[in-house]
Amino acid sequence: MRIEKCVVSYDDWEMQCCGDPFKIGDRIKWPVYKRVDEDNIDTDSALDGVDYIYEAHGMKHPRDMYTLIGTVDEIKADYYKIELRTRLSIHNGQKPVPTHVYEKSFDVTEADGWDKDIDDLEFGSYRVTIRDCELLPYKE
């Protein structure tokens, strides 16, 4: 399936563990899954506008995965504060849970997973706009 443009959330730990750095203009081929509302459970609003989530650690069943091919058009580094909030969590029920509270985004030209924290804000993820996309069935 061809898509003109989509936005992918790429967590810092995914990049730090075994991701490949990328920059604007790079051609990418990433394993992704379609974002659903439950993905926002422990995060406040950082996934608004995100279509897919990068996933390279087998946390989703392969039938729920896709291979996304396209060109990096824009990269935003997202920063958070962590607060205890009482909310329904798939892991903890209705209890206070550490919650990444989205605070700011900064445009960057490249991503390596090691963006520095800024004051009391913690770097947490990239929101990457991909253009000229092709979404294929996932193959391990």
Which of 9, 95, 86, 96 is closest to 53 using CA atoms? 9
Phi, psi dihedrals of residue 39, rounded to the nearest 5°: -70, -15
DSSP state string for 4-38: EEEEEEEEHHHHHHH---EETT-EEEEEEEE--GG
Residue 41: pLDDT over 50: no
Q: SS3 of 76, please?
A: strand
Phi, psi dihedrals of residue 14, rounded to the nearest 5°: -65, -45
Which residue ranges make up each domain of the chain?
2-137
Which of 102, 64, 95, 56 is closest to 81 using CA atoms? 102
Q: Is the pTM of this model over 0.85?
A: no
Span 62-77, pLDDT tens digits: 678 899 999 999 999 9
Residue 42: pLDDT over 90: no
DSSP character for 1? -
Which of 61, 64, 52, 62 is closest to 28 using CA atoms? 52
